[in-house]
Structure 1
Amino acid sequence: MKKFAPVLIIVGLLALGFFWYVGIKNGAIRENQAVSKEWGNVETAYQRRSDLIGNLVKTVQGAADFEKSTLEAVINARAKATSMTIDPSNITPEQLQQFQQAQGGLNSALSRLLVTVERYPDLKANQNFLKLQDELASTENQILTARTRFNEAVQSYNNYILKIPNNWFLAEYKEKPYFEAEKGAEKAPDVNFNFGNQSEEAK
């Protein structure tokens, strides 16, 4: 039995090494899937905002003399923002920056539309319009939460794949970028005007 002891020890060490290696690989898969899940939540939040903006545009189009160029700017910006698709498993800083720029362009166009609405008393008093504005404000908070959770998942993933000894075995896993606030992004778009009070003042 003693003559087999060295062989048994070697086999045992190899088995331990194998399971340790498998554990590292499975951990990387788990962390990567967590990032994908949180990115899905980010996309869901942005999609909800896009749907609300689409409904907002339809409501505004009911005002026959509303500025066509203002509406077209929102429609075009919305189309550009919704056309952006990102694979979270291979996300790059450049892709994330393009995604943010497209969303920022939509924010800007939407803000201009809402300012223009000031010149349309009937539209400002439209209950459907006001409800959509409230829902948009709520959705901005959902987007902020989703982005924060995505960044937390990315931090956990990056820490896992970059630390030693994990990085010795995870060369195929690349560091993922974070959402970074654009200039002025620390303040959500002002989509919740107090039209009720303004209407009273205008009387």
Structure 2
Amino acid sequence: MKTIVITLFSLIAIIFLSCKNEAKKDQETTDEIVKEVVEEKVEMKELGIVLEPRSGSTAEGKVLITEENGEVTLAASFYGLTPGTHAIHIHEKADCSAADGTSSGGHWNPTFTSHGKWGATEGYHKGDIGNFEADENGQGTITLTTNEWCLGCGDENKDIIGKAIIVHQGADDFTTQPTGNAGGRVSCGGIIK
């Protein structure tokens, strides 16, 4: 009987240790999966901006800027514009206090390149977003996604916080220096957290 009890206790101990080792392995696997998920954690930032009329216009707009996985997307919609082509740029300062929007400074150009069309091999300002069309009702939209901007990262060559979005009266010709000859500033909004 004593042998049976010892054998039984031995079996229970083996099973217990085996289960304990299995639980330890399961916990290690779980910890590894959690670690991978945390390391791959996606951080998303989002910022909404309202553009107000400038230079006696009725042009207004709403802009949503999101950052996810190192890419920033600017999605904008406008109304109250004159029908036709309009330029949109990021300017140096989030200051729209001047009636004509000039308090926002020039195009944001931290890399000191020539003005041009976004993505052109000849060069472009980091603030050279491009042109969009306003329909017969004065409404228009534009969307741009890039890894050349960030929201609040502190990199002076990428961070668009503290800048302004400006819509111009006319089209950007992508060649006239330093502004693209896009005309007056008809709408302005600061990129502020």
Would you call these one fold, judging by a TM-score over 0.5? no
Q: Could you say which structure has the higher helix fraction?
A: 1
| Larger relative contact order, structure 1 or 2 (CA cutoff 8 Å, min sep 6) | 1
TM-score scaled to structure 2, two decimals? 0.35
When the two structures are superposed, what TM-score results if normalisation uses the length of structure 1? 0.33
Structure with max Cα Rg: 2
